[in-house]
Structure 1
Amino acid sequence: MMDVRPRILIVSRNLPPLIGGMERLNHHLVLELSNRADLEIVGPPGCRTSMPLGVSVREAGSSSLRGYLMGAARQTLYAALGQRFDWVLAGSGLVAPLALMAARLRRSKCAVYLHGLDIVVRHPTYQRVWLPLIRRFDLCLANSRNTAVLAAQAGIPADRIRVLHPGVELESELTADAATNWRARHGLQERPVMLSVGRLTPRKGLLEFVQSVLPVIVGRHPKAVLVVIGNEAPDALAGRAEGITAQIRSTAEKLGLASNLIFLGMCDQAELNAAYQGSDVLVFPVRQMAGDVEGFGMVAVEAAAHGVPTVAFSVGGVSDAVEPGVSGWLVEPGDYAAFAERTLDALSPARSVRPDGCRRFARQFAWPVFGEQLWELLGGTATV
């Protein structure tokens, strides 16, 4: 028997040029597998420019969800008719029916990466059609232990579920100039800085943080500032409420905290890295909400990679992304008094969590580690 490079078809809407945690995950999934297998990608318009050399790409449909699914169905079928793949991999539950179609057509094995929301979303069609199809996959990769539990509760056989945490880019050292320049650009200088990163949705809990935690922090540190990176965006599956940013601004103004709040919107990677490096603590006050879930909490690991601790509620998969006393603190959901105390600890020069502990925790999530674990789960090389 001779080892050969396996052929893998990856179907995903969550790839660059779209922006977000799932997009970074799927992009790195492609990068890691491209070193070990021959890949074909069915992705969104414009994704070709971000793919590694030697990877075959089929751009599908339009930028809309409906347009992508229709185009991706055609392109996935064409790919499956063109050759047999050892694995067909769905980048999320959203495209699971397409991946399963291709796998069954050519008797290939199929895997899906589950992020949490793609299990619990309450859309009736999704619950009636998508979930029964996901139960038929050979391998279901869960981004956290909580997502694995949700998958089992949804009827996916436990022996087909494996936890595979997303990865992170490791930062070797904090770049003092980048941190200083970032603070200077935004008028932060010596101010204590709390950072929030991610799309602004009700689940992220920033409104409640401003209402219940920020007044306590400012009472102790009048110059403290909450820097928010991210915009509001409708979810691809569940839809989202509008106006969270306006509600947060209005609440801060009513509390006399407008000067303690800065919105930076979406930032490129260089600006985001500088923001991590220039901040004292990442705050992640995620709420428990029916029909919605925080699958993992990638920003907590990204912060740790920059030596920055996280204060978070122990909700959903966030518990996998923070090691208490090492990379930050986990607080019981809804305990805003404890959240404030932990945040004050992080802003103290004598804080108990140190940068070297944060970086040490983050190393286990390095993308090469993710790649090795994924490769092992897929069974390594094909044989002929």
Structure 2
Amino acid sequence: MTDRPDVLILTRNLPPLIGGMERLVWHIVEGLYPEWHTHVIGPRGCREYLPPEVDSREVPIQPLWRFLLHIKLAALHQAFRLRPKLVIAGSGLTAPFAWLAARLVGARCMVYLHGLDVEARHPIYRLAWRPFFRHFDHVLVNSRFTRQLAVAAGVARSRISILHPGVTLPELAQANDQRTQFRNRYALGEVPLMLYVGRITARKGLADFIRWSLPNIIASVPAAKLVVIGDVPSGALLGSTDERARIDEFLHAVGLEHCVVFLGARAHDDPELDAAYFAADVSIFPVQQRPYDNEGFGMVAIEAAAHGLPTVAFDVGGIGDAVAGGISGELISPAQFEDFARAVCTYLLNSEEDRQVLTSSARVFATKFAWPEFAVHLRNTCRDITIATGTP
């Protein structure tokens, strides 16, 4: 298929880094290469995780200045070498270099924005990065919330479209076996089980949940336990936090260390993650509302729904797009930790019949976020940009 056009993707977010943004950008690459000659400039080590048909150049990600310098030089080199039809920035961080590379060779340019891409309050970023967003030919955003932020930042609404992150729908045939095996591995038996999946940062709210909600939950459901899959991020742009220390302090203060099982971070394709979703009775997503640091979407809630697991979450940022109240879980008003605890208890104490109904409704909700649907929307958008506006 030698007539396929070239697309150049610039990103810091790809495996071997672990996280929702990394998974998203990987699927952007996967979704495009069947119709585009796809070229990626990404973090060191990404090549072994990409489809073999994809051309890649690796750059160091730390320190940040070195990443920015290397990706700028690599973007310009690849742009003049390839003369791509489209240049895509995987996030706001690489937006200036994608825009510059595209304009120098007469290509179209598109950026995928997350909430933090627009909200980040670093003065240099706001002064030198954000203004580029409004000059892109098209802006993809991950939620209605992020669209509002982009419009407020000066991006024309007509150039914005929402493309929710996707999910892989697992087979349910082995769900019961995986549930039993997971619980046996960690000596959980048949206890009512909560699950937290995600990075351990202040925004994600795990420490606040443990401090303000967990004691009430254990008082109502004494046998309940919480499994935590995730860790303090080591390569995040905002640096590491002391959240794990806060969590340990809170658990010790209330004497609930025995109620929480920490399993560390897991890659998105680790079978243990699937097993954990099947083993749990409810997913908790206690993300906090924070100035200039909100959750742009909520991929964890969609992943939970794909496994038939309901999620209790605070209704902040873009999470309202990822949780359907009464269908895939419950949305709680921000900072209402007692209400959050009551909702969690309801799911922990549900009858088997109620669980089956919830499993079915959550799965139906998740189907519209399947990655194949994401890929179709992405390819259609890229095709429209390069055809409707005309290729220089």
TM-score per shorter chain, which class? over 0.9
Aligned to 1:185: 185
Contact kept in structure 1, 2:137 and 2:385, CA below 8 Å:
no
CA distance in 2 between counterparts of 1:314 and 1:88 reads 34
Letter of the structure 1 residue corresponding to residue 229 of structure 2: I
CA distance in 1 between counterparts of 2:385 and 2:17 reads 31
Aligned to 1:204: 204
Aligned to 2:175: 175
Q: Could you list the runs of 5+ residues in structure 1 that have no partner in the other structure?
A: none
Letter of the structure 1 residue corresponding to residue 225 of structure 2: V
Contact kept in structure 2, 1:196 and 1:283, CA below 8 Å:
yes
Contact kept in structure 1, 2:6 and 2:82, CA below 8 Å:
no
Contact kept in structure 2, 1:203 and 1:287, CA below 8 Å:
yes
Letter of the structure 2 residue corresponding to residue 75 of structure 1: A
Structure 1, residues 315-365: CA drift from partner, whole Å, max 9, x if none?
Answer: 001100001111101011111121111111111233476101111111000
Aligned to 2:279: 278
CA distance in 1 between counterparts of 2:277 and 2:186 reads 14
CA distance in 2 between counterparts of 1:175 and 1:355 reads 11
Contact kept in structure 2, 1:144 and 1:164, CA below 8 Å:
yes
Contact kept in structure 2, 1:41 and 1:56, CA below 8 Å:
yes
CA distance in 2 between counterparts of 1:65 and 1:184 reads 43
Alignment root-mean-square deviation, CA: 1.8
Contact kept in structure 2, 1:138 and 1:160, CA below 8 Å:
yes
Structure 1, residues 148-190: CA drift from partner, whole Å, max 9, x if none?
Answer: 1011111111111111000101012152222111111111111
Q: TM-score, normalising length from structure 1?
A: 0.95
Contact kept in structure 2, 1:11 and 1:91, CA below 8 Å:
yes
CA distance in 1 between counterparts of 2:292 and 2:235 reads 12
CA distance in 1 between counterparts of 2:33 and 2:361 reads 32
- Segment drifting more, 229-238 vs 335-344: 229-238
Give the deviation of 1:124 after TM superposition: 0.6
Contact kept in structure 1, 2:166 and 2:370, CA below 8 Å:
yes
- Which SS does the other structure have where 1:49 is aligned? helix
Aligned to 2:137: 138
Aligned to 1:148: 147
CA distance in 2 between counterparts of 1:116 and 1:206 reads 20
Aligned to 2:290: 289
Aligned to 1:264: 263
CA distance in 2 between counterparts of 1:100 and 1:87 reads 10
Letter of the structure 2 residue corresponding to residue 308 of structure 1: L
- Segment drifting more, 371-380 vs 115-124: 371-380
Letter of the structure 2 residue corresponding to residue 193 of structure 1: L
- Which SS does the other structure have where 1:202 is aligned? coil
Give the deviation of 1:243 after TM superposition: 1.8
Contact kept in structure 1, 2:108 and 2:385, CA below 8 Å:
no
- Which SS does the other structure have where 2:110 is aligned? strand
- Which SS does the other structure have where 2:318 is aligned? helix
Aligned to 1:308: 309
CA distance in 2 between counterparts of 1:339 and 1:236 reads 28
Shift in alpha-carbon separation, 1:175–1:223, aligned structure 2, 3 A: same
- Which SS does the other structure have where 2:383 is aligned? coil
Shift in alpha-carbon separation, 1:228–1:357, aligned structure 2, 3 A: same
Aligned to 2:324: 323
Structure 1, residues 235-281: CA drift from partner, whole Å, max 9, x if none?
Answer: 744445x3211211221121121111111111242111111111111
Letter of the structure 1 residue corresponding to residue 203 of structure 2: R
Contact kept in structure 2, 1:169 and 1:305, CA below 8 Å:
yes
CA distance in 2 between counterparts of 1:189 and 1:275 reads 13
Structure 1, residues 261-309: CA drift from partner, whole Å, max 9, x if none?
Answer: 1111112421111111111110011110012010110000000001100
CA distance in 2 between counterparts of 1:132 and 1:235 reads 26
Contact kept in structure 2, 1:121 and 1:237, CA below 8 Å:
no
Give the deviation of 1:73 after TM superposition: 1.1
Contact kept in structure 2, 1:121 and 1:238, CA below 8 Å:
no
- Which SS does the other structure have where 1:378 is aligned? helix
Please state if 1:367 is matched with 2:368.
no
Structure 1, residues 208-233: CA drift from partner, whole Å, max 9, x if none?
Answer: 21122111111121110111111112
Q: TM-score, normalising length from structure 2?
A: 0.93
CA distance in 2 between counterparts of 1:115 and 1:96 reads 12
- Segment drifting more, 299-308 vs 335-344: 335-344
Q: Could you list the runs of 5+ residues in structure 2 that have no partner in the other structure?
A: none
Q: Number of paired residues?
A: 381
- Which SS does the other structure have where 1:89 is aligned? strand
- Segment drifting more, 343-352 vs 16-25: 343-352
Contact kept in structure 1, 2:285 and 2:312, CA below 8 Å:
yes
- Which SS does the other structure have where 2:196 is aligned? strand
Structure 1, residues 36-60: CA drift from partner, whole Å, max 9, x if none?
Answer: 1111111111111111122111112
Give the deviation of 1:234 after TM superposition: 5.7
Letter of the structure 1 residue corresponding to residue 178 of structure 2: A
Letter of the structure 1 residue corresponding to residue 306 of structure 2: A
Give the deviation of 1:191 after TM superposition: 1.0
